[in-house]
Structure 1
């Protein structure tokens, strides 16, 4: 298993475990916790871009694009940071144009 797949699998398991630990499927606080997890993922990616830009001084941050990330608990709405050259890609994202992780694909 490559690094990105491993990270994605671990992240999805962690999100699901946190949600299940703190609230049931019918719990009204579940959407708020889901939003918190989405925000944490956004900060992870932004921090990763900042590290990338420190190592690549000729590149600059160039905003964000919105994306849905499929997880076992449903879609997460995230804002993915980008750079002018387009060479930066956060490690937590699955392969390009892939919306779900391997566990979902294996299930099908």
Structure 2
């Protein structure tokens, strides 16, 4: 699975275009969807060595953001999974879809 495929799946799931997920827009729905996509990229994309892509690699795919922005996005998404039932449902649903498309699977603990 690639980061581009995660972005496309997140876009289809949330209804937010890939261009907005990777662009500068900072409205709450876009930011939440972007954070979800960053988490899913970390969970489902694997390098040739079988490890998750680095934060700088994900950051470049998300419009050239700083790697610390992606770290923050992943951390925030994990916190939202714990604290926000609606976000948790969206994350679980997208995770299930990506797992069906991805033999590597994804688990919250493997970030």
Normalised by the size of structure 1, how large is the TM-score?
0.30
- Which structure is larger by alpha-carbon Rg, 1 or 2? 1
What TM-score do the two structures reach when normalised by structure 2? 0.30
